[in-house]
Each structure stands twice: as C-alpha cells, then as structure tokens.
Structure 1
Amino acid sequence: MFDIQKIRAQFPILSETVNGKPLVYFDNGATSQKPQVVIDSIVNYYSKYNANIHRGVHTLSQIATDAYEEARLKIQKHFNAKHNYEIILTSGTTESINLVANGFASLLQKGDEIIVSALEHHSNIVPWQMLCEHTGAILKVIPMSIHGELIMEEYDKLVSDKTKLVFCNHISNALGTLNPIEEIITKAHAVGAAVLIDGAQSCPHIKPDVQALDVDFYVTSAHKMCGPTGVGMLYGKEEWLRKLPPYKGGGEMIATVTFEKTTYADLPHKFEAGTPNICGGIAFGTAIDFMNEVGFDNIAKHEHELLEYGTKRLQEIEGVTIYGPTDLSKKASVISFNIENIHPYDIGTIIDRQGIAVRTGHHCAQPIMDFFKIPGTIRASFAFYNTKEEIDIFVEAVKKAKMMLS
C-alpha cells in the first residue's frame, strides 16, 4: 500500500513552516528531502563507529569499512551492475562526469568527434568542451524541438565512424523530458562509440538497469534520491574503467609507491583517492533501501498523477506557457513554465513568502533558455512525498502573484 501520509511522516522537514506557512517543497529537482532513517544513518556513523576505512586493523575501522562496502553492494544491486568494482563512489554527478572526461583526454585525438544533446545541464557540457580544447576533438550537438524533445533524425546524421563518445541526460533537469537513451546507446555502439548517461534527474523516479541498457557509463548523485549531499556514483563497464587512467593521485588508489615509480590499485580503488565521504556513502545505501521499500512502481504512479494534476491546474492560469513535451508519458514530474510578461524570479520571490519552494532561473541549462529566447522559467519539481493538496496551494499562490504583478 502507498500511504502518502505515512511516507510524509518519515520526512521531518515536511512538518516545518517557512515564513509562517506550512512548507510546500517543490524544488526536488535541485535536491530531495531526507527521511529520518537516512538522517539516523549519518548520526549513527559519527556517534558509534566513526573511523577511516580500508586502512585500520582496529575494530572501528573494520566496522566502518564493512558498512561502506556494504553500501557499494547495495548500489551495485540497485543499478544491476555486473561487478561491485564497477561502482565508483564519487562526490556526485559532476565529479563522475569529470572523471570520465579526464580519462578520455589520453584516448582522444585531434579530429575525433564527441556528441552531446541540446538538453544538457552545464555539468554535462563544460567538461566536454574542456576535453575538446585539450585534445582537438570536435563537439557536436543533437538539436531539440520546440516541444523540448531531441530530434533523433539529426542524431542519425551526426553519428559516424569519427564519433568516439556520446553524452546525454536520461531526464532533462530543466524540462523533465525523458530522452530515448536506448536508441542513443544502440546507434552509438553501432559505430564503436562509448556512451555516458547522466542519471541525476532520472534516478529519483525510475530504476535504471545498466546491463539491460548496455550503457558504458552511468552517473548520479545521492542527494537527488533521498540521500546526503557530497556523494554520488559512477558506474563504468569494467573494460572502460581499466582503460582509463586514474583521475586523482593520493592515498588508497595505489598498490606501491617509490620515488621511481607508482603502481595503481585495482578497481574500484584506482579512482577513489583519499578519504571518501564515508558517512555519505553509507547513507547513500540507506537511501536506496528506503526508496526500494517505497517501491519505484509506486513512485512512478504517484508522481505521474501529480504531473497530470499540476499541469491541468496550471493551465487554468491565463498567459501560462509550459515548456517541454506535451505528451506527459515522455516527461518526469517536472513542470517548467512562465507567465506572460512576468519575470520568473518575481513569481518565485512572492510565492516563497507563502512557504512554497520552487526553482527559478536557467537551471544550469542556459542553452535551453536561449533556444526558447527566455531568461529562465519557474520550475516545480515533484517527489513521491508531495500531494495534490500542495499543488492546489501552489497554484493559488501563483494566481495571487500574477494579480500582484500584472
């Protein structure tokens, strides 16, 4: 049974007030809220077995090491990676992408081509631009339509035997577009190119199977899926992780060190230099357990109902423009919109006084905003702990804000 009130009761922050009003939190695309079990996991680590891992022979170190590696196994199982050492724990999606980009700097040559989509977050654009500047590779872009969907016929024209890498988000953070990554992966592999999928916005909503996708790299952040900030994951196929050089040098990622030569540790430690975010990694595993207990089928059903209801309610407002796919089966629970002749920042500021948290601006996706020739949007991003009643409060607040600003 999906009992929304029992679920909400597990999130302490949802009972807080903001500006004297009950919190309505619709900024889940930026970060999700944390259930008590995840908070307890962090407190429990620091209270009972705080120690560095993989190094100590003492009891606390062994307990901490076992808990951290158990979390890696949970992540492996959740994403259906073939091996636990294909799961690299990082500081988040951005570091995961940069790790791969840095590694390919030694594999690409001048004139090689890499492809990115027009729907990307800056973190899946800038590292590849830097890679092209370093190697002389050429960056090409899959264009988007007015409905915020990739034009796959143009992708077909871009892919060639010069293509070495393709990058695409699973779901757009700015528009909620669910991208056809299976088709993207298949066509890239047909020319021998590797594929990295940015799953930061998809993992809160769906449960990717990296083996079924046959993806080469898949990245995400814990804080988008009820876990803590400062920790994330890079999944990489073993064959690729063995080809890539280490991203950072330091302790833990070495086998032997002399002043003449250093040899590197085996996977996954080759890419995990230094003391990691230990409690973050452990809590990441706890968050995955929690979300699986809620059930991703339940999450998808409830969030789609919120998306349909929220879209219908917002369309009541004269002058509203909603960006992204009109077919809601191709969207996650994100509504990115504007109201005619009103700046999105002004709407966001006014409804904040009513305790409503949304994101306004370009959402670190400036090329999308440039495409639509707008300064930004108001983005309401729903999670499985949100309700239709909260949407009603939100819509009425937007209506009042419009009256004030018109």
Structure 2
Amino acid sequence: MKDVPEQYRQCGRQAMQWLDQLARHSEAPGMLTRTYLTPVHRAAAEQLTDWMLQAGMTVRRDHAGNVIGRYEAAAGSEDAPAIVTGSHFDSVRNAGKYDGNLGILLPLACIAEWNRQGRRFAFPLEVIGFSEEEGVRFKATLLGSRAIAGTFDQGVLGNVDSEGVSMREAMQAAGFDAGRIAEAAWPRSAVAAFVEVHIEQGPLLLNEDLPVGVVTAISGATRFMAEVRGLAGHAGTVPMHMRRDAAMAAAEIGLFIERRCSVKPGLVGTMGILEVANGAANVVPGNAAFSIDIRAEQDGDRLSAVSDVVAEIERIAARRQVEIALRKTHEASSVPCAPRLQDGLAQAIGAAGWPVRHLPSGAGHDAMAIAAIADVAMLFVRCGNGGISHHPDETMTEFDAAVAAQVFSSFVEHYQP
C-alpha cells in the first residue's frame, strides 16, 4: 500500500468523521433516509453550514435550498471564476452514508487544511451541498443542480409527496420562495470548472485494486414504463399454445433486454419493476407492468439498443397476441467530461503514484446538470462490499478518502485557469 502524506491522511480522517456525523440526520431510526426539505434535511443543511464556516468559508443559501460555501481567492483575484465542487446531501430510502455526501465533505476537509495553512489561490473555491438529487420525495431529480444551472423545471413545483404536500408548500415551510428559484442560476462566467468527487457505486476500481479513477462521461439514459394486456384464464384449463400470458410476454422482453445490452461494455439494460396485478398461483396473468432502463456512455449505443428493444417488443406482442402500451418517462443524453479536466485529474493521480484508470459513470450525478454552464469532471473513489450503493452496506475506507484528498488537492493546487 502506497504511503499518503500525513496532511492528506488528516483530511481523509476528517471527512470520514464528518460523514459519520452527517449520517445521524435521518428520518428513520436505524437507517439513513434524508429527503428534500424534511426537518432532518434542514438540520443537515445547518450542519454543513457550520462546518463550512469552521473551514474559513462564507456561506449562503439559495431558494432551492442549496448550501454554498465560498473560499475566497488570494488578494487581487477575488473576481476570478471559481473552481466549483460539491454533490448532494439528500438520500434514497435506507441509503448508504457516502453517496453524495463524500463529494461535499472531502473537498471541505481539504479547504479546512488550506485555511489552516493560510493558503489561497488565484481563484476562489466554491463547495455546493446540492439540496436534492435523488428525486425521492417529489419524484423530480437534480433539483438543486438544475436550479444553479438555470434549467429548473417550474412544472415540478406542483408535485406532491406521500402526505399530499406540494413542493411549493414544502419550500415555503422551509423559508424558501419558489417564485425566486430563477435567482439561484449561476452565469457561465462565474465557473472555471466543476469537479465532483463521488464514490464509484460499482465494482471496477475495487476489482482492480485502485483507490480512485477518472470519469470519462456520465452515461445517457432512456426509461420507459410499459403495460401489458393479455387475457386472464384458468391455469389448469387454458392450453399452453392458446395463452395470452401478459407476465410471460414481459419476461421474454426482459430476457431480450438482457441479451441486447450485454453485447458492448458500458451498455446496460434493466427491468427494475415487474408487476402482475391481482396475480394468483392458479391464474394465467392477464395484465402486467414493467420498467425499462437503458444506459450507455455513447448515445449512439444507447439509442441503437432502445430501437432494437422497441422493435422486439412489437414482435413479441404480435406473436403472443397481447397489447403493450409503452410510455417514455425519461431521456437524458450522455455528458462527456472535459478532456482538459480529465487530464488534470489523471496528472494528480499519477503524481500520487497510482495507475490512472478511466471509466464511465453509469449513474446520474449533479455534474450532468452543471454541464449546462461549465466544463465538468468527476473523480471516482473506490467503494467496498462489491461496489454496492444506495444501500446501508455501502462503504469506503479512510485510506481511500486520504488518496482522494491528495488527488483533489493536487488538482486544485496545479490548476491553470
């Protein structure tokens, strides 16, 4: 195991301590659940504010609820575009403690160390705790980063949570004005670059025994919901060749998605929902519903797979004599990471003595939204337990946090505007 200088080990220790403390802000005892503008979400924002102030930053909030800490530049450079970093502090239900939160707290630990040294740069640094990325409470994603990018969809303000509270009402209760969200938008001229630190949420770095990697692109995604209408019948009396089985049609489609999306690295396809309404052991299913999620680093690969899947659905429906209604629910293009920023991260990794691994991100991130106003990059950090994420078994090590701190610090210290 390579040696990491003590100052970065201290940054790693500090980040891991903060991660443990922030995870205590949860809606559910014994697990981490922190959704947009709930009381615990607001408490987490106050905690981030305190830590940013302790690190020598000024702190502000916008009307989307983002927490923004600014570490000023050296005298004479205050008006220079900022290096911006950060990630989200909301969570999925029963989450892990590192997803999103690492990307706020690791850079913050590095800034605290620079502040201790009295070190400033030819540009300011801004750390954003994005208020919402996961979309759990109001079924709308990337709210915080879209507000800053100026792409916030005002139509989602009417979305309601499970208690019937609208997003607009939740904002008002938290002291924010939904009518002023547009004021949260940053001009492109304010951002020199956006660099997000994030756990990989996958097994590649773990399997290759590497603590960090450089993201090449955030994969684009296409999602559908589908409803299948066949004909219900008695499981004992309807001959196999006469069945119009909705569940088996869905199952065959799922197997095709699996085969089609296995032909090229970086292309993935998932049927995450498969439901049989009013199913019974002795009934041929007459109705089924399922989801499709297809992602790829290259948009051409994704769109080709989507086209083939849609065509196969039509063939399966005709052969099995079922009706399939397909509704697209999401479409996002791939977001490439800026080559110059990838090079900067790669040089920082090499300077720390590690091989440079480039890899795509199959998951979506706040960087996707910020790409509308700035060049973006991502530093992936290894996670353990087979790369599991969005789960309480999500984990990472203090050593890897220290390496990530070393790489991030080197990137900032050698950045050339």
Tell me the TM-score normalised to structure 2 length. 0.25
Tell me the TM-score normalised to structure 1 length. 0.25
Higher relative helix content:
1
